[in-house]
Amino acid sequence: MENKNLTLRQSLTELVSRAFDACGYDAALGAVTVSNRPDLCQFQCNGALAAAKQYKKNPAIIAQEVAAKLQNEPMLEKAEFVPPGFLNLNVSDTYLISRARAMDADARLDLPMAENPLSIVIDYGGPNVAKPLHIGHLRTAIIGESLVRLSRFLGHKVIGDVHLGDWGLQMGLIIQGLAEKEPDLCYFDESFTGPYPTEPPVTLDDLNELYPAASARSKTDEAFKAAAQKATGELQNGRPGYVALWKHFLSLSVTDLKKSYAKLDVDFDKWLGESDAAPYVDEMLGILNDKGLSYLSDGALIVDVAREDDDEEIPPIIISKSDGSQLYGTTDLATILQRQRDFAPDEIWYVVDNRQAMHFKQVFRCAHLAGLIPDETKLLHVGFGTMNGKDGKPYKTRDGGVMRLSDLIETVTTAARAKMESSDTAKALSDEEAAACAEKIGIAALKIGDLINHRTKDYVFDLDRFLASEGKTGPYLQYAAVRIHSVLEKAKAQGFTPGELLPPASDTERALLLSLSSVGDTLLRAFADRAPNGICEALFELTGLFNRFYYENKILTNPDAKQRDSWLTLISITERMISLLLSLLAIGVPEKM
């Protein structure tokens, strides 16, 4: 009996587990995996090999017993024993068609839905107020957004939080920079009783100049640095003029950030920041102190987080320095307390660069030691590698600086526009349409160039490769999506409607059906790994098979109307699946290209 919400692999596992059980073996031995020899079979089960040890019996005999039980199963086309104890499995065409029918009839394409939805806070983006977004912020945005969309699609309750860097020394640097430039502003007058102006005293451009200048100066000018640190402390202690200024900086910056993220189709549920954790800092410090975890060492307040069985050195986490200033870890610990109070989540995922791995290890251990969050709550660092230049080092601008995200988007858009010049479809577009199209193509190129790699890997930024129309690229996927859509439009224009699905007429068609039926397992795996690259691979498999299917068959001109209409159904399922997967990766498709 087929259970509706099971994926293909889960259904097979259930079937084979029952066969193991019926033969007198542990049902848990029936786990089915995708075949590692696709030339021989679609799926396999290696349970008989494990059973041989458990039951001290020849694996061949066990596998043959189980295979015998699986003959005549409508779900399977074959269940075959292969020495020394493998079971090779192929699903039947009837079963593939029944799955395709279920997809056709279901608005969410018969994809799995979590039975026990988790509530998950996903911390991603992490931009810093008053500092322009740079390419270091690109991967967290792209990967984080697709994890948010995937988890939500699977039925989990997701809160995506941008976790703005809005409370640190950069704020004091700007305040001090401005104080020296325009000392007469009311914000610096301690006798001023308000109200403060509603309009900001600076523009966004001013802000973007103030910060780098102040930051550079603090590196050589000790007195300036000390003044900025003092201003940071005063802001954090609520000095009214500084708080009013800070609010202006925040709102200027957030308006700008929202524009950049909108271009990337990245949409946060919460715009909370480090400052929202500030009210929890004292309480958090109190807990660390009451539990006897924090102690003074060389004037700094620290907590030991090393364990005896560590195979690397885990240094103590520094909670505050001898001058009383708080650190990155302090804020992250207070944020955990705030998230527990506000959301009491089951899991918190931090989509942050691998290079911060030690920081998160220390923070998570400390949070659990102190009981800031229940033991069962999972704190996970979803780390990622670096986007490198062709020299293998983190990507830089030509003059060696850090590239602004807006410049990067501009670069890919311009390159996409240049490539479009050679296409006739593009030539027919108005200037405005062409610009919008180029932006969609450029951003898709950037996103697939990133997401096709497992997140933990570094990759090389290679614009030519990312924009190529062949290979595992964004434009290739978009082009396939446009084409499949146009086939369906043409069918509609000729008055054809999708009809009853017939059994596959070729190996390619069978492979396409199997690929569609496998998406559910792919999504579960991507979620479990917190890695969207599997979704990209599924997209390339689907589009590749669709292209092959399209070349091998005369679809719209087929004299057999039943065959044609069955294929139209198959194509329409394929189209819906491709759009769904693209939307999980936050990739848009131009109308024409």
Identity of the residue, 272 or 501, whose beta carbon is nearer to ligand ARG in the bound complex: 272
Site for ligand ARG in 552-571 (CB under 6 A): none
The residue whose two tokens read 């311009």 is 414
**C-beta of 134 vs 152, nearer to ligand ARG:** 134
Contact (CB, 8 A) for 120 and 347: yes
Q: Does 352 bind ligand ARG (CB under 6 A)?
A: yes
Q: Which residue is nearest to ligand ARG (CB)?
A: 126
Measured CA to CA, the distance from residue 257 to residue 261 in angstroms comes to 6
Please identify which residue in 30, 85, 112, 126 interacts with ligand ARG, judged by CB under 6 A: 126
Nearer to ligand ARG among residue 355 and residue 492 (C-beta): 355
Q: Which is nearer to ligand ARG, 80 or 166 (CB)?
A: 166
User: Which pair of tokens denotes residue 231?
Assistant: 């201003």
Q: Is the peptide bond before 84 cis (omega within 30 degrees of 0)?
A: yes
CA dist 388 and 242 (Å) reads: 39
CA distance 9 to 289: 50
Q: Are the C-beta atoms of residues 384 and 350 closer than 8 Å to each other?
A: no
**Which of 165, 345 has the CB closer to ligand ARG?**
165
Q: Closer CB to ligand ARG, residue 110 or residue 123? A: 123
- 350 vs 476, which CB is nearer to ligand ARG? 350
How are beta strands 86-91 and 76-82 bridged, if at all?
Answer: antiparallel
Binds ligand ARG by CB under 6 A, chosen from 261, 280, 350, 364: 350
Query: Is residue 329 at the binding interface for ligand ARG, with CB under 6 A as the rule?
Result: no
CB 123 to ligand ARG: min, Å: 5
Q: 140 or 533: whose CB is closer to ligand ARG? A: 140
Q: Contact region for ligand ARG (CB under 6 A) — 31-39, 120-128, 171-179, 368-376?
A: 120-128
User: Contacts with ligand ARG in 160-189 (CB under 6 A)?
Assistant: 163, 165
Stretch that binds ligand ARG, among 66-74, 123-131, 224-232, 301-309 (CB under 6 A): 123-131
Cβ neighbours around 185 below 10 Å, total? 17
Shortest distance, position 359 Cβ to ligand ARG, whole Å: 7
Binding status of residue 123 toward ligand ARG by CB under 6 A: yes
Q: Does 134 bind ligand ARG (CB under 6 A)?
A: no
Q: Are 89 and 82 in contact (CB under 8 A)?
A: no
* CB burial readout 103-116, b (16+ within 10 A) else e: bbeeeebbbbeeee
Q: What's 137's DSSP letter?
A: G
Residues 538, 522 contacting (CB under 8 angstroms) = yes
The least distance separating ligand ARG from the CB of residue 373, rounded to whole angstroms, comes to 14
Token pair, residue 371, equals 């009981």
Among 145, 332, 565, 575, binds ligand ARG (CB under 6 A): 332
**Min dist. Cβ of residue 284 to ligand ARG (A):** 14
Distance in Å, CB of 462 to ligand ARG, minimum: 25
Residue 397 in contact with residue 471, Cβ under 8 Å? no
By CB under 6 A, the count of residues binding ligand ARG is 8
CB of 226 to ligand ARG, least distance (A): 24
Who contacts 151 (Cβ-Cβ below 8 Å, separation ≥6)?
120, 122, 158, 527
Number of CB atoms found within 10 A of residue 197's CB: 12
Residue 198 CB contacts under 8 Å (≥ 6 apart), including other chains: none
Whose structure tokens read 């061949």?
A: 60
What's the CA gap between 199 and 203, in Å, rounded? 10
Q: Nearest Cα to 99, choosing from 485, 537, 498, 501?
A: 501
Which residues, in sequence order, are CB contacts of 433 under 8 Å at separation 6+?
none
Among 88, 128, 320, 518, binds ligand ARG (CB under 6 A): 128
Q: Is 361 a residue that touches ligand ARG (CB under 6 A)?
A: no
Residue closer to ligand ARG, measured from CB, 301 or 352: 352
Q: Contact residues for ligand ARG (CB under 6 A)?
A: 123, 126, 128, 163, 165, 332, 350, 352
